[in-house]
Structure 1
Amino acid sequence: MKKFLLFIVAAAVGFSVDAAPQKVDFDKLPNNSQEFIQKNFTREKVKDVQMDREASWDKYTVTFNSGTQVSFEGGSGDWSKIVMKDGYVPMTVIPVKIKSYTGANYPRLGVVMIETTADGYKVKLQNGTFLDFDKDGNYVKATK
């Protein structure tokens, strides 16, 4: 019985070590993730890239020298979250309907974070307001 418990503990430790994020080279990112960075973050220098195994897919997080982070889904290579340390999320990244809504209703506030969710998108404005949008980019609600 003791050997069995010891085996279970050792297996759990092994899985937790395997699940820890690993530093990888930029060229390990999916091609469209690399192109996304090169197109939308031209002035940024990549500090490091972390790969994190989540369930049955990989997640990559690129951190720039500025502290800005961009996360990507490993399978598709599509961005899943952008958190700006300084400045605003590039307008080229923000879906058109969301860009139109924030421009019309929050004209002097920049977007400092955007992420995809199961229901659509979550956006954080520079004043701390969070805006939720559905998958089509239609406004759903705001929270502070």
Structure 2
Amino acid sequence: MKKLMLLIACAVTAFSVSAAPKTVDFDKLPNNSQEFIQKNFPNEKVKSVEMDREASWDKYTVYFNSGSQVSFEGGSGDCSEIIMKNGSVPAAVIPVKIKSFAGSKYGSQRIVMMQTTADGYKVKLSDGTFLEFDKEGDFVKATK
């Protein structure tokens, strides 16, 4: 019985260690993820890149020296989340309808986080307000 418990404990420990994010080189990112960073964050210095295995897919997160970060889906390399420590999410990556809505209703606020979700998009404004949009970029709701 003790051997079985020890074996289970070792297996759990081994699994948790292998599931932990690991640091990888920037060039291990999918090509379109590298291009996204170079195009939209030209003045940022990459501090580190982590790959996290979640179920059967990978997620990459790029951390900048400024404290901002960008996450990508491993298979497609598509951007899934941008979190800005200082400044705003680059306007070029925000869908037009979302940019237009936020500008007209919350003009004094900056978009400091943008995330793609199964239902569409979620953005966070500099005052802490969260806005949710469907896949077409139409406004769904706001929460604070």
TM-score (norm 2): 0.97
2: CA distance, partners of 1:95 / 1:2: 58
Give yes or no for the alignment of 1:59 onto 2:59. Answer: yes
1:97, distance to aligned residue in structure 2 (A): 0.9
Aligned to 1:30: 30
Q: Distance in 2 between matches of 1:142 and 1:19?
A: 35
Q: CA RMSD in A?
A: 0.7
Match in the other structure for 1:6: 6
Q: Distance in 1 between matches of 2:73 and 2:125?
A: 24
DSSP-derived class of the 1:92 partner: helix
Distance 1:103 1:80 in 2: 22
Identity of aligned residues (%): 72
Matches within 5 A, 1:33-52: 33-52=33-52
Deviations 1:49-68 (A, max 9, x none): 01111110111110001000
Return structure 1 stretches of 4+ with deviation > 3 angstroms. Answer: none
2: distance between equivalents of 1:135 and 1:105?
Answer: 20
Supply the distance in 2 between the matched residues of 1:96 and 1:11 (Cα, whole angstroms).
49
Give the letter aligned to residue 126 of structure 2. Answer: Q
Superimposed CA distance per residue, residues 66-98 of structure 1 (whole angstroms, 9 cap, x where no aligned partner): 000001110110011100010000000101111
Question: What is the Cα deviation at residue 138 of structure 1?
Answer: 0.6
Segment of structure 1 superposing worse, 35-44 or 102-111? 102-111
SS across alignment from 1:16: helix
Count how many residue pairs are aligned between Structure 1 and Structure 2. Answer: 144
Whether 1:91 aligns to 2:76 is no
**Structure 1, gaps ≥5 residues long:** none
